[in-house]
Structure formats: structure tokens, C-alpha cells
Amino acid sequence: MKARMKNILLAAALGMGATLSAQATTPWDAGVAYLVGLDGLKTVTGNGQGYNAQVGYNGHIANSEVPFRASAQVYQMPWDGSNPENTGLRDYQLSFDVFSKPSYAGLRLVTGLSVNKWVRGEAQTSVKGVKFGGRIGLDYELNHHWIAELTVQVVELGTDGNATKGLNPSWAQLGVRYQF
């Protein structure tokens, strides 16, 4: 099921790129990414893998030369099924990223903050409250439309059932965005 969903997301992104590649770019982009969980995500899901879909708006902060991107993202982090204490996660995320100017042949540093709403488990129970996160990564402009990204995120989730430790899922994501 996971492999099929990843293939569908990748095919949709590639198909969108093929149909729109001749058009001039706008401030909008859309993309997909594959997640590799770090220890925090593996603790919660047991799996440590996932994927996302995103749309974003690119501009400059207050008519300055500082580029930014505001995006809405949906992350799916499936449960591996091995431990009944683990659960799958879905994250609805709004993020705000600031970019450095391209410093080396289209490569730029990305830093940002996110606001997250988590849903846990097969029953899709909502985690109480809005949670915050931080992001850092690199973007590389492949051509006029396509951008490859590598991002590391740490996001607050909450505490375990006994309130004995904080759970902060973290992951690295590798993805592509298409600016249309």
C-alpha cells in the first residue's frame, strides 16, 4: 500500500510537470516528498517512514530581496503494526520558510517554522492542541520549474500516555517541487 501511494504521488507530480513545463512560472508550487524518520518518529510509529504532498506560495518578505515560501502540507506516517503502543500519524502542517539567495549554482539554505495539527491512529483521533516545529534544509534548482529539496524537521507532538516524556517526531525528507 505504501509503495503504491508513493508511486501515485510521484506519477501525479511528473504528469503535472510534463503538462505545464512549457508555461512561464508563477509564484505557486506543488510537490511530494519521501520521509525517513529519525529516532523521534520511529518511537511513535515504529516505522520511521512516510510521505507528504504540499502546495506553496513563493514571494519576497515586505518587498525586500529576502525570498520566502508559505506552504500547506499533509504528511502521512504509517504505523508498522508490530507494537500496539505505536500508532500511525497524519500531520496537517502550515509552514513558513525563508531562503538564502542562491549561493552556488542554484543551491540555497532553507530555514523555517511550522504550525501542525496531528491526527493519530487508525481511529483518526485528534491530538489536543496546535503544535509547533522547526525546519532546516537545502533547495536545489534543477531547472526553471523543478526544485529538489532535502529538509530536516523536528515537530512537537506531546507526551506519552503517562506524561513521562515529550514526544517530538523528527524526520528527513527528500522531495521535488514543481513551480508552475
CATH number at residue 141: 2.40.160.20
Helices (H), 79-147: none
Given a cut of 70, is residue 164 above it in pLDDT? no
Cα(140)–Cα(83) distance, rounded to whole angstroms?
38
Range of the domain at 45: 2-179
Cα(171)–Cα(138) distance, rounded to whole angstroms?
14
- Single pTM value for the model: 0.80
Q: What is the pLDDT of residues 101-153, one digit of tens each?
A: 777 788 999 999 999 999 887 666 778 888 999 999 999 999 989 999 999 99
Q: DSSP class of residue 74?
A: E
CA trace torsion 125, 130, 131, 134 (10° rounding): 130
Between 48 and 5, residue with greater pLDDT: 48
What does the block give as the cell for 43?
A: 518511537
Number of domains in the chain: 1
Given a cut of 80, is residue 162 above it in pLDDT? no
